[in-house]
Amino acid sequence: MRKIQYTLATVLLGTLLSCSDNDKPYYPPPSSNTNGNEVGTAQIWVTSGDKSRLISAQDNLSIIDNTTTNYPSITVDQTLQFQEIEGFGAALTGSSAYVINQLSGSQKSALLQNLFDAESGIGINYVRLTIGASDFSLSDFTYDDMPSGQTDVNLNNFSIAPDMVNIVPVLQNMLAINSDIKFVGSPWSAPAWMKTNQSLYGGKLQTQYYDVYANYLRNYIDAYASNGITIDAITPQNEPLHESGYPTMRMEANEQANFIKSSLGPLFTNNGITTKIIAYDHNFDRADYPLEVLNDADANQYISGSAFHAYAGDASAMSQVHNSYPDKGLYFTEISGGEWSTDFTGNLNWYVRNILIASVNNWSKNVLFWNLALNENHGPTNNGCEDCRGVVTVASSGDVTLNEEYYAIGHFSKFVAPGAHRISSTTFDSSTGLYNVAFVNPDGTKVLVVLNESPSAKTFSTIVGENRFDCTLPQESVATITWE
């Protein structure tokens, strides 16, 4: 990992993302045996597995008016547009907000600038929030905890006070940098008094409290709105098939459908709440869950899409759901790295290929990693993962380490604007070790992300209409290429 001591001036000058003086560009690529006239240029940024380049700008590529090539090639066609892209980012958990908020004012400003400003940093534009405590919070809590044996069906004691210490202030700092950030909220548990086991750990939501819990979620949306934070979407339950010794709640597919159609959906509709309802929010290996929820016509009408995690199964599950319900959005909401895998090169390749490229090519409208920031001890944790890695690591000294997750996200978030669309791009032969996805931004700029996970440099051609450009990508590297 690359460790950098931030200063505000450093970030504002953008030097964290530029080439060093001795970082020699490797363009142009070897000459093809075909010729052509230059009709434009494409810009390129590269991250190499050996860290010699870290979202580093390279010499421009020549776009020529000749499509004949001897190199492996793909064709990009912006006339064939697919899903709209809503953004790329990570989760601001309670732990993430805490470690960020412990920084000095200048350190915090510099870090957030680097994370959320697209010019001087990577321009993260989509953030996941936990509704109440999670396994990465400073303690267990919901927004309406009551003494054992007591209830609060009118939610008179509802308060987001725990979030006002770190989470809300950091979110407001983020929005001051990038006002277009989208937020999705996910609860880990309903208040214990609403549940079958009267505990924050496991158990189910009692049907008698469906309407109360729907109002609880509405109160969350309203409370955040009163602090200038718009919740774009919520999921009814994080990982509804998982129970553990930290806040969790089991919710079977039929139960989620019943909750949405009987309580949450009508409440939102009748009160003009535009926050999206996104089903499932668990692993790729159970596409049957969101399909069962969406198969319920009464629930379906209220649902905007389904969300997935990547701790089991693969991204093709998203296409399975898309094929049955092409009018519903797909969202990727969680994956985490950790000490079980510390190889920068391998992690970079895996994230870009199996999470970012794969999710988007399987119809996802976003890609979110787990903790945005953790400390050098992989926490603070709340009885959950003891060795997870944040997108950045914030040490008690104020040193910030930009982890492989940062660079993987940055190759998308810095260049693909909200409102972009995925566009048609053919695939390379699997023998090349090259993988790709393409976009068109609202301003018409095209973006191509290419991964070379092979152990040798690869030269390839990209054909766009009557033109093409050639590129040589070093071994085990990712490139983002943009052109008008």
The residues carrying an active-site annotation are 239, 334
Nearest-angstrom CA–CA distance, 466 and 142 = 58
Beta bridge partners of 424: 77
Q: What 3-state DSSP class applies to 101? A: helix
Strand 276-283, strand 233-234: pairing: parallel
Tally Cβ neighbours within 10 Å of residue 179.
Answer: 8
- CA dist 240 → 47, 89, 110, 283 (Å): 36, 22, 37, 10
Among the listed residues 115, 165, 99, the one whose alpha carbon sits nearest the alpha carbon of residue 396 = 99
Tokens of 300: 């379906």
- 203 vs 248: CA distance, rounded Å: 8
Q: Which residues of 249-272 are buried (b: 16+ CB within 10 A; e: fewer)?
A: bbbebebbbbbbbbbbbebbeeee
CA 243 vs CA 32, 246, 251: distances in Å: 57, 8, 10
